[in-house]
Amino acid sequence: MQAPAPIEATAAPEPKYKLSAHDRCDRKACGARAYAQVGIHTFNKAGEPIVGELLYCAHHYSQHEPALAARSSIASVVDEREALVESELARKGANPNGNGFS
């Protein structure tokens, strides 16, 4: 009797996007779905590190992107605004070429 063939372990595929519908814009009174995450790493007056993140909807990230890009305290940026475009295309039934023809 032959031994069963070994089962190859495969890792689950990485999700295409990090942010989900549970992530919401941190701008006051907005609450829209976040499509950008900005990692902050700076120091307080005592020299102690301050690390955190800000979540922005597509509108607010587009509005603040130039100012954020100029700041040296930005450690990382996850920009997933293309997910918004993809979901809108899927909703409208358009093809990825964006020309409206299927």
For residue 77, is it within any domain? Answer: yes
For residue 74, is it within any domain? Answer: yes
For residue 3, is it within any domain? Answer: no
For residue 17, is it within any domain? Answer: no
For residue 15, is it within any domain? Answer: no
Token couple for 49:
């590190």
pTM of the model: 0.70
pLDDT (0 to 100) of residue 30: 95
Number of domains composing the chain: 1
For residue 27, is it within any domain? Answer: no
pLDDT at 10 over 80: no
For residue 29, is it within any domain? Answer: no
CA distances to 25, 43, 49, 70, 83 from 21, rounded to whole Å, are 11, 31, 30, 28, 11
pLDDT at 31 over 70: yes
DSSP state of 72: T
Give per-residue pLDDT as tens, 34-90. 999 999 999 999 999 999 999 999 999 999 999 998 988 899 999 999 998 888 888
For residue 82, is it within any domain? Answer: yes
User: What is the average pLDDT across 16-43?
Assistant: 93
Domain hosting residue 75, numbered range: 36-92
